[in-house]
A and B are shown apart, each in its own frame.
Chain A
Amino acid sequence: MAIFNYYPQTLSPDWPGGYWLHWGVFVVIILVFVMAMIMGFIWFERRGLGRFQVRLGPNRAGPFGLLQPVADAIKVLIKEDIIPAKGDKLVHWLAPVVAFVPALMIFAVVPFHDGALLADLNIGILYVVAVSSVGVVGIFMAGWGSNNKYSLIGAMRAVAQMVSYEIPLALSIIGVVLIAGSLSMNSIVEAQSIPFILLQPLGFIIYFLAACAEINRTPFDLLEAESEIVAGFHIEYSGMKFAMFYLVEYCEVLAISAIITTLFLGGWRGPLLPPFLWFLIKVFGVFFLIFWVRSTIPRLRIDQVMAFAWKCLLPLALINLVITGIEVIALPPALLWTVMFLNLAIVVLLALLWSKFFRLGGGRVEV
């Protein structure tokens, strides 16, 4: 245990030193962290999906294929950059940047350690919700600037999906905020004497599904449905700009994994190991869950996706909000474990009820 006392349990708000030093150091840390983690995620997902499909995945470049993302990056950098002749050139050029910057900005408020974050905003989670929805503007710009019907359809779907899923997403966060009593990400982590996934199982499920839809992971990857609209919004992109969209995709997954870790899984908290390592382990765990779902569940239709947001997730999120509010006001904090089991029972009950009410696919009832 004595070894781990080396890691300070709390860091001062301006940890590396002066104000500007803090900004500089954390900007560099975040950039390096995001880039390294994106490489790691790409490798992890391709290897993991390979194993799910009983194959090996990339294993040629470097040991265990670890250098595959590097090789891909180099390949994509030296490829030709094609802009459609009749596309909107400025919008086409700006779209990847507009999509990438918000995804990167989310990491400003993600705590890697107690107090180790770029800006401990007192409205942290609100900032995350606000910033993450800007990314869809970039996707729509890409769809519009390409002057291609498939990319426009893909972009339209992305916008519709984003607008619908933002609501259950935000509502499921409010449950956590009610229990933690703060919007600051660091305070939310500090409030988690037990991970909030135990107190907010329904909130976790709703947030996970809505976040998957918002970052367009596979059960909801309608905007780039290969079988219908070729590649969706990035069909006309090549070279570096395509690489940017690829980065955006994984940056958003990383952001969502980090936020789920922070909100529901206790962030950097954990025994024995240093906090940063705990954070990484949890992020990779959430990401594993995300691509486990990807490897299992087929893509939904657009009307099914919309119906799922409005008829299933939204009412459940509202119910979750009301129940959490009542629990926070009425029940004493000593009854933590009671609340936990109560909430689990409520999840089971609601899941049964909604499976009874809610059917996907219109006319088709029995399989």
Chain B
Amino acid sequence: MKFEHYGIGIAKGMALTFKHLFRKPITTQYPEERLTVSRRTRGNELVWDKERCTGCATCAKSCPEGCIEIITSRGEENNYIVDKFEVDMGRCIFCGLCVEACPFEALFMGYAYERARYRRQELVMDKEALLLSGERQPSGYARPKIEAGLPRQTLLLDRDKVKK
């Protein structure tokens, strides 16, 4: 005798929802906690390594939006000095072609995502804003050497509790 039609189904359902009462909430309380971004993300910003950059402007040429502006001058040791390196993030489509194109691995994607601004002008990143630093670490996107050292999976696993 099957007991599927004798109210057992409802009882099973009620028991299941009751069990859910005691599970940990899966929601992230955003300003206090935030999910860890994947370490391989094709993120929302660019990170620039000043030391490795030769000023070849391959990134600017590869950009489909033409939003990278790079002006160089001649240095003493027959090299380029980067005078101006500006990326208009308001026009950037985050395709990552500039990162892939860079022959000297001097340009990376970054992790930041809270990059909303009130004015378009504030979205233009200049040399100082693009610099690699402690907080602005490069992501593993299109950089196999960095990727090799990353944990296998970081997305949706960890939550940072950041006090603001």
Interface positions of A (Cβ within 8 A of B): 50-56, 59, 292-293, 295-297, 351-352, 355-356, 359, 367
- Contact of B29 with A by CB under 8 A: yes
Q: Give the complex CA separation of A51 and B18 in angstroms.
A: 9
Q: Sample 27 A-B pairs with CB under 8 A, ordered by A number.
A: A50-B25, A51-B20, A51-B21, A51-B25, A52-B17, A52-B21, A54-B23, A54-B24, A54-B26, A55-B25, A55-B26, A55-B27, A56-B25, A56-B29, A59-B29, A292-B14, A292-B17, A295-B17, A296-B16, A296-B17, A297-B10, A297-B13, A351-B7, A355-B6, A355-B7, A356-B5, A359-B5
A297 → chain B, closest Cβ, in Å?
7
Q: Which residues of A contact B7 (CB under 8 A)?
A: 351, 355
B6 → chain A, closest Cβ, in Å?
4
Q: A52-B20, A54-B23, A55-B26 are in contact. Are A296 and B6 (CB under 8 A)?
A: no
Q: Which residues of A contact B13 (CB under 8 A)?
A: 296-297
Q: Which residues of B contact A367 (CB under 8 A)?
A: 4
Q: A352-B6, A355-B6 are in contact. Are A56 and B20 (CB under 8 A)?
A: no
Q: Give the complex CA separation of A359 and B25 in angstroms.
A: 37
Q: Give the complex CA separation of A352 and B3 in angstroms.
A: 9
Chain A: interface secondary structure? helix
B46 → chain A, closest Cβ, in Å?
34
Q: Which residues of B contact A51 (CB under 8 A)?
A: 20-21, 25
**In contact, A56 and B18 (Cβ under 8 angstroms):** no
Chain B: interface secondary structure? helix
Given A52-B20, A53-B20, A296-B17, 14 further pairs, Cβ under 8 A: A51-B20, A52-B17, A54-B20, A54-B23, A55-B25, A55-B26, A56-B25, A59-B29, A293-B14, A296-B10, A297-B13, A351-B7, A352-B6, A356-B5
Q: Give the complex CA separation of A292 and B21 in angstroms.
A: 10
Q: Which residues of B contact A293 (CB under 8 A)?
A: 14
Q: Give the complex CA separation of A50 and B23 in angstroms.
A: 11
**In contact, A292 and B18 (Cβ under 8 angstroms):** yes
Q: Which residues of A contact B21 (CB under 8 A)?
A: 51-52
Q: Which residues of A contact B16 (CB under 8 A)?
A: 296
Which A-B residue pairs are the 3 nearest by beta carbons? Answer: A355-B6, A55-B27, A296-B17
**In contact, B25 and A351 (Cβ under 8 angstroms):** no
Q: Give the complex CA separation of A358 and B111 in angstroms.
A: 59
Q: Give the complex CA separation of A257 and B17 in angstroms.
A: 21
Binary interface encoding of chain B residues 1-41 relative to chain A, with 1 for a CB under 8 A from any of its CBs, else 0: 00011110010011011101101111101000000000000
Q: In the complex, what residue of chain B is closest to A289 when comparing beta carbons? A: B14
Q: A54-B23, A54-B25, A56-B25 are in contact. Are A355 and B17 (CB under 8 A)?
A: no
B26 → chain A, closest Cβ, in Å?
5
Q: Give the complex CA separation of A50 and B20 in angstroms.
A: 10
Q: Which residues of A contact B14 (CB under 8 A)?
A: 292-293, 296
Q: Give the complex CA separation of A359 and B21 in angstroms.
A: 31
B160 → chain A, closest Cβ, in Å?
18
